[in-house]
Structure 1
Amino acid sequence: MKHTLKLGALACAAMLACAPAGAADNQADNQAANQAAKPAATKAADSAESQRLNKLADAYYDAMARFDPVSASESGDSRFNDQIGMSIAPKNRAAQFARYKDYLKRLHAIRRDALPARDQTSYDILDYELRTALRFEAFPEHLLPLSQMDSLPVMLANYAGGEGAQPLSTVKDYQAYLSRLDQLGPWIDQAIANMREGIKRGVVQPKSIMRSSLPQFKQLVAAKPDDSIYFTPVKKMPASFAQPDGKKLASAYRAVIERKLNPALQRLVDFLEKEYIPACRDSTGWNALPQGAEWYKARVASQTTTDLQPEQIHQIGLKEVARIQGEYGRIGPQMGYNGPAAGLPAWVAQQAKYKPFTTEQEVLAVYRKLDAQLKTTLPALFSLRPKTPLDIRLEPELSRATASDHYTPPAVDGSRPGVFWAVVNDPKQYGSTGMVTLFLHEGQPGHHFHIALMQELNLPNFRKFGGNNAFTEGWALYAETLGKEMGLFDKPEDYFGHLNDEMLRAARLVVDTGMHEKGWSREQAIKYFSDTLGYSEADSRAQIERYMVWPGQALGYKIGSLKIQELRRRAESALGAKFSLPKFHEIVLDEGTLPLALLEKKVDRWIAESK
């Protein structure tokens, strides 16, 4: 999934560590058992406390959505589609942290033991998110406002085609997008000011990252307004738009692009090329930054929702790499390969039979056929499924070179489905072995079954539109493993594709902690990736450069998946013949995203009740 769960320049890292929520939950079992016996007066108090909690939760979410409206749009909340926010402005950032402190104080004034069980969960998640967000107050993430992975100018450019999270089908939609373009110039100037401050304080991106990003930003500068990618909506304007609306919109788009946006983009390119890149660092890891070691540990905690230390995660990664290479040794001969197990990915990458495509549409046809097949097989594994449809589309051209295949959530008003985006740069080089496992992860039952369903549950907005990386990506990686019991990995090449994607997530644990904790160089990490996964140098470099600018983000996948698999084994062992896989999946999914400690408590309660 393309990560929009940061909710602002704070990186709503807020959605993720675990001690507070887990500690608070220790009392939950006895309290839930006693709920029914409370007298009427106490139940009235319950209602009052619930109302206080829900009012606070809504205020918290609205503050986050206003602080970073583009992330809100990405999460399916369209209320602020005409705003971009200025979350990177120091005064706005300080005000947001002050709000979080106030919300935490107000939360702790609510009696948790007077809440019904579902509201206790909301209390625990909110407590957890606020504490985690406040942990990042000490770290100047706003001084790193853009990279090749994360850039508001590129994100808004990707919206120009009308297929992304920004709808472009009505006059109001066009006005909302134009409003965002009008605000983008001041955002760019604030980003430049932040990066200049970052140069003074030694908080800068790696030089290699920004050199490879520069062409992306140069591409956004147009010779004349009509050539700008941001003018695309005008070229695709529906014929149904009445005049003079269409004419007025075209004129307004030209004016904003020519007078405000294009000059700001040129200022950004000039700044990056002449000032920023020469001042960027030659180091690789986050630990090279001021407070970098503690900053990285905070990100690890937030992205995994655990208290695991980087070295522990590094060792888990090495162990998983060894396990998967053992599976390579078993599956390789079935594919016609008899060399060393570690060499299987490189051998597969060289086999022409695993690159059978000549057009983008041929790639999409395979995904659409798989989607149709899953619609008939998944009901046996899931009693709880989203009603919202899933669409399959090609990634827009502008971002294909740096994007990975990903999922974007549906709009909560039903105006946009969930979308699986296939990134096809060259169909002749698009490998077929990983397509099944990729779709299980990014499509159904992975992200779509979790995120689309979350919007259909009766949850507070901060839970409906929020989340944490360990659960979100952990669920999607767990969903990949279900391909085996659905018979989707019967062909050895498809099972290899699954193993290779598992290897990717395991190797990430090694290289992410290697770079940011153990001092690995970019080149060392690239070599490890190429040796372990059989990737080309270019593919390995693209992956490693992602982890360089999103430290810790790639850790949540494997840590979350391992926890969900552990909980399933625990339930199967404890319940025996009483174990129901659809019910287990319902227990995991029916309250939306949880920190891993809360999920574990919930599964343990279900096991105890089922006995």
Structure 2
Amino acid sequence: MTSRRNFLVPLAAALALTFSPLSHAAAPAGKVSAEVAASANKALLAIADDYYQAVARFEPIGATENGDNRFDAQLGLSIAPAKRAAQFKRYRQFAKRLQAISPHQLDQKGRINYDILKYELNGLIAMERFPEHLLPVNQMDSVPVTLANYAGGEASQPIGTVQQYDAYLSRLTQLPAWIDQAIANMRTGIKKGVTQPKAIMISALPQFQKLVSATPEASIYYTPITKLPATFSDADKQRLTASYRQTINDKVMPAVARLAVFLEKEYVPACRTSTGLGALPDGAAWYQARVANATTTTLKPDEIHAIGLREVARIQSQFAVLGPKLGYNGPAAGLPVWVAAQPKFFPFKSEQEVQAVFHKLNDVLDTKLPAMFTLVPKAKLDLRLEPELSRATASDHYTAPAADGSRPGVFWSVVNDPTKYGSTGMTTLFLHEGKPGHHFHIALMQELNLPDFRKFGGNNAFTEGWALYSETLGKEMGLFDDPAQYFGHLNDELLRATRLVVDTGMHAQGWTREQSIKYMQDTLGYTDYAKSETERYMAWPGQALGYKVGSLKIQELRARAEKALGDKFSLPAFHAVVLSDGTVPLALLEEKVDHWIASQK
């Protein structure tokens, strides 16, 4: 999991259709004069820049989440029906402008920009028919909770300078209008039969009730004032304190109270008792669009469900072989529960001991990765402990380096209680979140000179698919010769496979929430996690599908190249082909690899 929000922000939601046909972005460019290509590329980049600006202004929180802080003073009102309609009109205008450019006049990089932009616009326009704006809140994310999470200044919106304090205050002043629009939308949703499942709103309700405060000073939104830097002038301190207090007291407190009461008294009682998106009007098509968004493929839910079942069976067959090597002789499905009960797999007494393992692993990878990679980011990877303030709610994750080189990429390990930090999953975790996973991909993105819509956009299928594929490289580097570390790898993979089964089960096959929880408990062996994960998939239909689908595609393309090229196959060259253009939809990745195979022959 990266710090980027690679799910459900409009830029990511753009990826809702497959390329068909591609303009052959990966193919060698035809004979076009340099002047013609330069002119066409310039025109394309102008459209791309206008498009990105339009998306960022429509959903500025999405820009903030994806690392673009230029829009931090704006909240946006994308859920307002009139603004939503106007935005879709803009997308159609961008698509029309794009049609005026011939892809054959572009150079190779221009063709890739063209294909991805066309793909995103087609996908966005296809989403217009689905009333996502009538479902503005859930337990996983909502604007009021996101702003509350920003209040500490440790998240995607920095709050440290006077200008940044003013930007956050500006967002707070816009929050009541968003809340009132959300309430109006949910009332419309009740009338149209488009509501959230009751179970996830019962889980969400305490979040919104906690936002209600008796005084401005007790509000979480007042947190920045409790941390005013000593370097601020007395005038700025007084102005900001007074402005925050007045805005929260007069505007924010009444609005969050209205929302909490509305949800408890009116919305939750009216919510649907069904589980999946398929139960809503036009729900099957809606879920299919979400699946396409998450996977960047034309795979149908039933096909993904079958893939998930096959992967679960494959991994559990590996458990059967691995169990005895760890000292376990029970049924394969029981291995995760048994491992979790063995004290030897929880050897740590301090945070420093946990960090020492990651540092040693980092050093080992420095000796092994050069044999696999020639294209690597210039930015360094730093290893840090998650700050105490955010430890309780965070999970181990990666944050990208600063584009200007002022800050390295960081792998954050979250150690709440070192005695409960399991050792078996550490190698696979670092390969995913550190290197060669997110760091080799996302840090490189900062160095590729991409247009903003690609630098700050992306899709889960490539981003998480690459990181999950990176985990598999541990086996050929000898890092999984230790059966305990190989178990950790398989156990994480099993979760990703299980997601394919339950997400499609609930949203396309009529599974209930309870069926999903039971399947996850039976398959994964742990109970507390099954409820929260099931409800995550209910709130974000399709989002969790990209990890496994993307990883399997990269593995499939590698096997294809190895078979076709034989002795001519170069793993570093293959990895360079996969990473060299940053995040791309899987159809474009496949075409790139096929052209590379042909060129090597």
Q: TM-score, normalised by structure 2?
A: 0.94
Aligned to 1:129, which of 100, 103, 120? Answer: 120
1:86 matched to 2:77? The reply is yes
**Residue 543 of structure 2 aligns to a residue in which SS?**
coil
- Give the whole-Å Cα distance in 2 for the aligned partners of 1:221 and 1:411: 36
CA displacement at 1:124 relative to structure 2: 0.8
- For 2:263, the equivalent position in structure 1 comes to 272
Aligned to 2:22, which of 24, 32, 50? Answer: 24
CA displacement at 1:219 relative to structure 2: 2.0
Q: Give the alignment of 1:305-454 within 5 angstroms.
A: 305-357=296-348, 363=354, 366-371=357-362, 373-391=364-382, 392-394=384-386, 400=392, 404-413=395-404, 417-422=408-413, 427-454=418-445
Unaligned ranges ≥5, structure 2: none
1:326-346, Cα deviation, whole Å (9 max, x unpaired): 110111111110111121112
- Give the whole-Å Cα distance in 2 for the aligned partners of 1:274 and 1:428: 43
1:139-178, Cα deviation, whole Å (9 max, x unpaired): 0111111111112222222222222111122211211122
1:490 matched to 2:490? The reply is no
Distance change (3 Å), C-alpha of 1:244 and 1:358: farther
Q: Percent identity?
A: 62
Distance change (3 Å), C-alpha of 1:379 and 1:590: same
- For 1:66, the equivalent position in structure 2 comes to 57
- For 1:539, the equivalent position in structure 2 comes to 529
1:597 matched to 2:595? The reply is no
1:38-62, Cα deviation, whole Å (9 max, x unpaired): 4xxx432222211111110111111
Asked whether the equivalents of residues 17 and 303 of structure 1 are also in contact (C-alpha less than 8 Å), the reply is no
Asked whether the equivalents of residues 572 and 579 of structure 1 are also in contact (C-alpha less than 8 Å), the reply is yes
- For 1:99, the equivalent position in structure 2 comes to 90
CA displacement at 1:194 relative to structure 2: 1.3
Asked whether the equivalents of residues 81 and 177 of structure 1 are also in contact (C-alpha less than 8 Å), the reply is yes
- For 1:609, the equivalent position in structure 2 comes to 599
- For 1:143, the equivalent position in structure 2 comes to 134
CA displacement at 1:422 relative to structure 2: 4.5
Give the AA of the match of 1:382: F
- Give the whole-Å Cα distance in 1 for the aligned partners of 2:8 and 2:538: 20
Asked whether the equivalents of residues 495 and 524 of structure 2 are also in contact (C-alpha less than 8 Å), the reply is yes
CA displacement at 1:485 relative to structure 2: 2.5
Distance change (3 Å), C-alpha of 1:455 and 1:354: same
**Residue 36 of structure 2 aligns to a residue in which SS?**
helix
Aligned to 1:285, which of 270, 276, 284? Answer: 276
Question: Relative to structure 2, which stretch is displaced further, 418-427 or 51-60?
Answer: 418-427
1:446-467, Cα deviation, whole Å (9 max, x unpaired): 2222122212211111111111
- Give the whole-Å Cα distance in 1 for the aligned partners of 2:251 and 2:165: 18
Asked whether the equivalents of residues 25 and 109 of structure 2 are also in contact (C-alpha less than 8 Å), the reply is no
Question: Relative to structure 2, which stretch is displaced further, 475-484 or 218-227?
Answer: 218-227
1:234 matched to 2:230? The reply is no
- For 2:456, the equivalent position in structure 1 comes to 465
- Give the whole-Å Cα distance in 1 for the aligned partners of 2:325 and 2:548: 27
Question: Relative to structure 2, which stretch is displaced further, 444-453 or 296-305?
Answer: 444-453
1:14 matched to 2:14? The reply is yes
Give the AA of the match of 1:34: G
- Give the whole-Å Cα distance in 2 for the aligned partners of 1:399 and 1:64: 32
- Give the whole-Å Cα distance in 2 for the aligned partners of 1:199 and 1:397: 38
Distance change (3 Å), C-alpha of 1:409 and 1:199: farther
CA displacement at 1:269 relative to structure 2: 1.1
- For 1:455, the equivalent position in structure 2 comes to 446
Asked whether the equivalents of residues 26 and 592 of structure 2 are also in contact (C-alpha less than 8 Å), the reply is no
Q: Give the alignment of 1:166-177 within 5 angstroms.
A: 166-177=157-168
CA displacement at 1:600 relative to structure 2: 0.8
Query: What's the RMSD between the two structures over aligned residues?
Result: 2.3
Distance change (3 Å), C-alpha of 1:439 and 1:28: closer
- Give the whole-Å Cα distance in 2 for the aligned partners of 1:217 and 1:283: 23
Q: Give the alignment of 1:293-308 within 5 angstroms.
A: 293-308=284-299
- Give the whole-Å Cα distance in 1 for the aligned partners of 2:343 and 2:321: 22
Give the AA of the match of 1:578: K
- Give the whole-Å Cα distance in 1 for the aligned partners of 2:507 and 2:594: 35
- For 1:262, the equivalent position in structure 2 comes to 253
- Give the whole-Å Cα distance in 2 for the aligned partners of 1:56 and 1:117: 17
Asked whether the equivalents of residues 17 and 595 of structure 1 are also in contact (C-alpha less than 8 Å), the reply is no
Distance change (3 Å), C-alpha of 1:430 and 1:289: farther
**Residue 231 of structure 2 aligns to a residue in which SS?**
coil
1:21-70, Cα deviation, whole Å (9 max, x unpaired): xx1235863xx2533xx4xxx43222221111111011111111111111
CA displacement at 1:416 relative to structure 2: 5.7
Aligned to 1:550, which of 540, 543, 555? Answer: 540
1:413-464, Cα deviation, whole Å (9 max, x unpaired): 5566544455556555443322221232223222222122212211111111
Matched pairs, number = 599
1:4 matched to 2:5? The reply is yes
